[in-house]
A and B are shown apart, each in its own frame.
Chain A
């Protein structure tokens, strides 16, 4: 009986795979697609494991997407000599992460919490799902998963097509924009250029995105879509009191161990900022939060140097403004809030 030529078939298949994948990678690079890391639970867990670095050498950031866009990690390190550990997550409520850090007896570091009112003062389970999934993954991570992450890091650092958010089969299918039947819900898709992710979990907009007002409109339309979904009034009354109490307890746990906590209100602009002021009056939310927790806070509107940013899509800073914001943030922290960065002289 004729025996199939298995060896030749394997080599042939291998050649086809290598050629097609190489062609795909070359095409992506030639079309100016920068490397973007998969900002999933694995990358988050990698950063979460770093929070135990000494207080005088690292600062942990939690919050929503604004912290990821607005804080330039390279500038932060350059100015402070401090290691920024970015644990903020897009579209999420940071309180599960705060709670996780509060319960972790080993965490005694500096913590900066970004307050995006619509997400922060919210009980919506959907806003907590992402953080909870990542926290659970971090605590249950296996040695095999840690090793896979290391291998993946090496590959992702070299190959654009491994960006799962944009170039996986499902992502490509989603981008086909096949019209749905009436009434079928589909999550909107952000332009890739809006959110390139570095290995340190900093997000940035590409120059092409910053320059293209049509792309801005795509994103502002998505904000409008999310706003239309949320018909609930802003949190108030006993549920807000209870939420504030939880935050107060968590902050106290960290402070009692010698940790430092500071709240920051990162910039927004245009209709977004107007809506936030109307929905979440400062006295009722921000001021109360600071008064209750006794923590220092930095609100962008209080500082003329950073009060008038124009966010391309109303909610996040473009890279150049992120540098300005970070420089001013470090300055305010040192001069006004008394934060000291012992590593500063070494870095400079």
Chain B
């Protein structure tokens, strides 16, 4: 279920009552665990088996990893965990994408291969809970933290419903200790939690879904050309929509957890007020950025092996970060663009040897560059070109300075002003509207 549904409101009221009854702490934790499974099963009951599998495998492999001293056996255990977690993720999230690419490849080299289209359902939140369990086993491998003492606490850490399907991505030390001693929200925490939940719902339901999505969808689904003003409105609306949608949902998660007495990490910190791209990624989906930094960028070598490797590591991290957001080449290109932006920023910083903020971008430029690419890149090529022209250049009616080969044709086409309406959604791992 999702936070912005009647089902969740009923569910949450019952959980709040149950959690505040005079019951033992272990009973309360069992209640929370069962509630979390119910929360997940309300989307598609069979997929709860995946969650169990992931939990059980990582609990036992994690303990074994921590205790194992033999280097080879330790690596073997880590490989088991990685195959288990990433294998599931690859199959469910990237299975169709990989097969499509394989088919294109073999057809391109002359084989006539056309398999049936697989009907793979993407389990809600698999990207989130896979990263949650992965960081546990990697931490165990590196002995960065102690193994979780009880299966109940570990299951609750993985499954705890506020963060289960859309983050924030939590690390074991952030949440597991909170399960070890009785917790109940104080009156202040409850009030603040409800406030955050209301604020999050307002951001998601009113601002993102009601006020901004219509404009964004109209522009990004337009079949004809448009004026630059309209293109900019669409881009800004989409930038607002993705922020309010995602940050609103994260705010709900933090608020819900707080109502129960648990503290989840912040996930957004005024990202559109950031100065530069690296600053942006420190403020946008913070828990994912931190995960990619700690479990991908740094293990790849980070900035420790010279400039060339640093740039490569940055690009690899952003490419995989892009692919995490969605199984299509548009997301890979989106990741590559961000890798490129970070390169440019880093080059400037390296040249200037600045210790202060690298590039001061205007908010409009920033949201323009950061917001639209995944949607923008989904469009047909001529449409991309037209959208690009009207998006990046001022209205051609007043300026002729940007006119180059082929541009007059696009200008003429853009003057037709034919609009059509439609709907679209950005790719997401969450369960959609229910």
Contact assessment for A3 and B188 in the assembled complex, using a CB-CB cutoff below 8 Å: yes
Q: Report which of B195, B418, B434 forms a contact with A148, defined as CB distance below 8 A.
A: B434
Q: Are A185 and B42 closer than 8 Å at their CB atoms? A: no
Interface stretch (choices A5-13, A63-71, A236-244): A5-13
Give the nearest-CB partner of B4 in chain A.
Answer: A148
A4 vs B150: C-alpha distance when bound (angstroms): 38
Q: How far is the CA of A10 from the CA of B259 in the complex (A)?
A: 13
**Secondary structure call for the A interface:** helix
Known A-B contacts A6-B188, A10-B191; the reply to A142 vs B434 at CB < 8 A is yes
**How far apart are A41's CB and chain B's nearest CB, in angstroms?**
10
A258 to B214, CA, bound (A): 45
- B31 within 8 A of partner (CB): no
Inside 8 A of A155's CB, which chain B residues have their CB?
6
Whether A142 pairs with B195 at a CB distance below 8 angstroms is no
Chain B residues with CB under 8 Å of A182's CB are: 417
Interface string of B398-431 (1 = CB under 8 A from A): 0000000000000000000111110000000001
Smallest CB gap from B188: residue in A = A6
Give the residues in chain B near A248, CB-CB below 8 Å: none
Complex: how many Å from CA A238 to CA B431?
42
Which A residues between 171 and 226 are near B, CB-CB below 8 angstroms?
182-185, 187
- Point out the residues of chain A lying under 8 angstroms from B8, CB to CB: 144
Within 137-163 of A, Cβ neighbours of B (below 8 Å) are at 142-145, 147-148, 151-152, 155
Contact residues in B for A152 (Cβ distance below 8 Å): 6
Of B7, B41, B44, B210, most A-chain CB atoms within 10 Å = B7
Q: Measured between alpha carbons, how far is A88 from B65 in the docked complex, in Å?
A: 60
Within 8 A of A (CB), among B190-217: 191-192, 194-195, 198, 206, 210-211, 214
Residue of B nearest to A141 (CB): B434
B9's closest neighbor in chain A, by CB? A151
CB nearest neighbor in B for A149 = B6
> Smallest Cβ distance from B387 to chain A, in angstroms?
17
B434 touches A187 (CB 8 A): no
Closest B residue to A155 using CB positions:
B6
Determine whether A169 belongs to the interface, using a CB cutoff of 8 Å to chain B.
yes
Asked if A170 is at the interface (CB within 8 A of a chain B CB), the reply is yes
The answer, yes or no, to whether A308 is at the interface (CB within 8 Å) is no
Please indicate the chain A residues that have their CB under 8 angstroms from the CB of B214 in the complex: 170
Supposing A10-B194, A184-B419 touch, asked if A147 and B7 sit within 8 A by C-beta, the answer is yes
Cα A6 to Cα B191 with chains together (Å): 6
B210 touching A169 by the CB < 8 A rule? yes
Query: Once bound together, how far apart are the Cα atoms of A259 and B5, in whole Å?
Result: 37
Q: Is the CB of A148 within 8 A of B421?
A: no
Q: Which chain B positions have C-beta within 8 A of A183?
A: 417-419
Q: Is the CB of B191 within 8 A of A144?
A: no
- Closest Cβ of chain A to B364, distance in Å, is 22
Report the separation of the CA atoms of residues A9 and B418 in the bound assembly, to the nearest whole angstrom.
49
Residue of B at shortest CB range from A150? Answer: B6
Q: Does A334 contact B (CB under 8 A)?
A: no
Cβ contacts under 8 Å, A142 to chain B: 1, 42-44, 431, 434
**Residues of A close to B45: CB separation below 8 A:** 143
Residue of A nearest to B198 (CB): A13
For B211, what are the chain A residues with a Cβ–Cβ distance below 8 Å?
169-170
Residues in B with CB closer than 8 Å to A6 are 187-188, 191-192, 195
Is B10 at the interface (CB under 8 A from chain A)? yes
Which residues from 298 to 315 on chain A have a C-beta closer than 8 Å to any C-beta of chain B?
none
Q: Determine the chain B residues whose CB is within 8 A of the CB of A187 once the complex forms.
A: 421
B237 within 8 A of A: no
Give the shortest distance, in Å, between A21 (CB) and chain B (any CB): 14
Contacts of B43 in A (CB 8 A): 142-144
29 contacts between A and B (CB under 8 A): A7-B188, A9-B191, A10-B195, A142-B1, A142-B42, A142-B43, A142-B431, A143-B41, A143-B43, A144-B1, A144-B5, A144-B7, A144-B8, A144-B434, A145-B433, A147-B7, A148-B6, A148-B434, A151-B9, A152-B6, A155-B6, A168-B210, A169-B206, A169-B211, A170-B211, A183-B418, A184-B419, A185-B418, A185-B420
